[in-house]
């Protein structure tokens, strides 16, 4: 889903260069006072709040549903929205001016760089308005505003409806996907270090704990110093890992298997993973149960990313 964040992220930061004389944002208060009558002033105020990373003030320029959803987001996600609206990583100093055509220009000044927004003439109806907003690299998007509860609120960026509920859901999905990817990478790491252990000590480890940290200059089969203490404990980044030695027909070890299962199904991950003795990855949504060799094999490219 290409949401508002991808649209806003496309604009790049520019190094601060001289322009015309800027006024400190004492005009901010005037813009706030004008928001009921002027959608452009409301958008200036919203971007000013984003520049200052003032989430309380920023929420005033969101629709009621979006404001409620915004306040319910974790702090890192609220900060992410402010950063991507202001196009700055840190809270900045907003500077408001006008260009030679009398159009508003808002800059968000941080220590090493400044983002810039140039406001075009709004196309306004009784309850809807669209304001062209140009960034310093020349990209222009229409910001949609809707009159709600006596003031103008952000409703869209370009052609995309600004929907924080949907954005939050997408973030959760992405976080789940990232944790699943991390689980695959951890299994791949374990596969590698188990091979390293076997070559070093001429046997397979009995447990993951034997792969864990060792005191300085005291590496041994019991403490091989190959993985972190966390991974050696069998749990990392929301997944539980299990290791099992596979025996051949002669009763001797012939290989090993690994599984990875989400600790909190649906939150830390959905898919369970199985690495078979031949080195093939299997994956399926097992609703928190262990994956097995009967589950579908993952395409190799999905285990290498």
**DSSP states of 227-239 as a string?**
S-HHHHTTEETTE
22 & 133 share domain: yes
Q: How many domains does the chain fold into?
A: 2
158 & 178 share domain: no
Domain with 88 in it: what CATH number? Answer: 3.10.450
For residue 228, which phi and psi values (nearest 5 degrees)? Answer: -70, 160
Q: Which residues contact 249 (CB under 8 A, 6 or more apart)?
A: none
CA nearest to 273, candidates 230, 241, 225, 238: 241
CA nearest to 272, candidates 256, 289, 258, 257: 289
pLDDT of 31 reads 41
Structural domain includes residue 157:
yes
Query: Of 99, 134, 162, which residue is a domain's last?
Result: 162
286 & 265 share domain: yes
Placement of tokens 């609703």 in the chain: 287
Q: Which residues contact 74 (CB under 8 A, 6 or more apart)?
A: none
pLDDT of 7 reads 39
pLDDT of 302 reads 67
42 & 146 share domain: yes
Query: Of 128, 162, 196, which residue is a domain's last?
Result: 162
Domain range spanning residue 285? Answer: 172-303
Series of mean pLDDT values for 10-residue runs along the chain (305 residues): 39 29 41 60 94 95 93 90 89 92 91 89 90 85 91 88 83 86 95 96 96 93 96 95 92 92 92 95 96 92 66
Structural domain includes residue 167:
no
Structural domain includes residue 292:
yes
121 & 269 share domain: no
Q: What is the pTM of this model?
A: 0.58
Query: Of 162, 192, 214, which residue is a domain's last?
Result: 162
Structural domain includes residue 289:
yes
pLDDT of 245 reads 96
Cα-based distances in Å from 203 to 169, 210, 281? 46, 12, 23
CA nearest to 32, candidates 23, 44, 24: 44
Structural domain includes residue 37:
yes
12 & 156 share domain: yes
152 & 187 share domain: no
Structural domain includes residue 190:
yes
125 & 256 share domain: no
- Whether the CB-CB separation of 80 and 66 falls below 8 Å is answered with no
The structure tokens listed for 116 are 């810039």
């Amino acid at each position: 889903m290409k949401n508002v964040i991808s649209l806003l992220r496309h604009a790049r930061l520019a190094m601060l260069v001289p322009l015309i004389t800027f006024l400190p944002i004492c005009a901010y208060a005037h813009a706030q006072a004008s928001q009921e009558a002027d959608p452009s002033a409301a958008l200036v105020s919203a971007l000013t709040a984003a520049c200052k990373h003032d989430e309380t003030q920023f929420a005033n320029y969101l629709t009621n549903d979006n404001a409620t959803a915004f306040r319910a987001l974790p702090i890192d996600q609220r900060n992410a929205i402010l950063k991507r609206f202001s196009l700055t990583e840190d809270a900045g100093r907003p500077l408001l001016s006008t260009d030679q055509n009398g159009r508003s220009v808002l800059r968000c000044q941080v220590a090493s760089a400044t983002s810039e927004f140039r406001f075009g003439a709004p196309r306004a109806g009784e309850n809807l308005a669209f304001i062209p907003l140009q960034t310093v690299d020349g990209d222009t998007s229409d910001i949609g505003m809707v009159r709600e509860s006596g003031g103008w609120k952000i409703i869209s960026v370009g052609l995309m409806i600004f929907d924080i509920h949907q954005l939050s859901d997408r973030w959760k999905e992405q976080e789940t996907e990232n944790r699943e990817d991390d689980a695959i990478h951890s299994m791949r790491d374990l596969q590698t270090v188990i091979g390293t252990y076997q070559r070093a000590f001429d046997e397979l480890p009995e447990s993951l704990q034997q792969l864990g940290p060792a005191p300085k200059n005291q590496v041994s089969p019991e403490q091989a110093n190959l993985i972190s203490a966390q991974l050696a404990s069998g749990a990392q980044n929301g997944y539980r890992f299990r290791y099992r030695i596979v025996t051949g027909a002669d009763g001797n070890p012939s290989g090993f298997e690994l599984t990875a299962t989400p600790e909190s199904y649906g939150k830390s991950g959905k898919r369970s993973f199985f690495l078979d003795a031949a080195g093939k990855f299997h994956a399926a949504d097992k609703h928190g149960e262990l994956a097995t060799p009967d589950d579908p094999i993952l395409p190799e490219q999905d285990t290498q990313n």
